[in-house]
Amino acid sequence: MTVSDGSPSLPAGVERHAFDGTERLATRGDPVYGEPTDGPWRAWNPHRSKLGAMLELEMATGLEGGETVLYLGAASGTTASHVADFAGPTYAVEFAARPARDLLEAAESRPRLFPLLKDARKPETYAHVVESGVDVIVQDVATRGQARVALENSRFLADDGRLLLAVKARSEDVTRDPAAVFEDVQSELESGYEVLETRKLEAYHADHLGVVARPR
């Protein structure tokens, strides 16, 4: 059952639907990770998706639907599959072979989802595949140097594009206070990006910060 036709904060192709009496974000597509469905709609679980959490928290992602997306850290395709449901060409970079197999399965019914078994820290290895001038970079990588990954991949981003980054404090340094880690990552980002908005994702993901930025 449709709860609403969406809102200005949601991109076209993302709506709120009721699943078992609970209103949730949803996209149209084949299920990927056992999520509830309602006809062609599949629930988007913000507890398993940093971008889903950013949308639930009404961050100004700038997503409208139909964008060309570079997704860094696609893992098994939980979020990348939702993105490909409403976006345009979606290049999904994942380094680990095991989750990449699941990502390939998610792509079978999604002609706009292009899995790349590559390391997001080495954008030169997929520069021959990913088109320049992408509208959005979505980054969710579990590694040290998350700001550096975003800066290195900014080569693909259009001048008016957006970076949607989920900073994982524990991946940077498990011994430090997350607030200090967030501050350092933002400071490093500012050498190549203007940070437009930040918000802690604690309601859905512990020790994570959502960041919306645009290239300088």
- Binding-site sequence positions for S-adenosyl-L-methionine: 78-79, 94-95, 119-120, 140-143
Helix/strand/coil for 48:
coil
Question: What is the spatial distance between Cα 85 and Cα 98, in angstroms, rounded to a whole number?
Answer: 23
Numbered residues of the known binding site:
78-79, 94-95, 119-120, 140-143
Distances (CA, A) of 202 to 47, 79, 195, 199: 10, 18, 20, 9
Longest alpha-carbon distance in the chain: 47
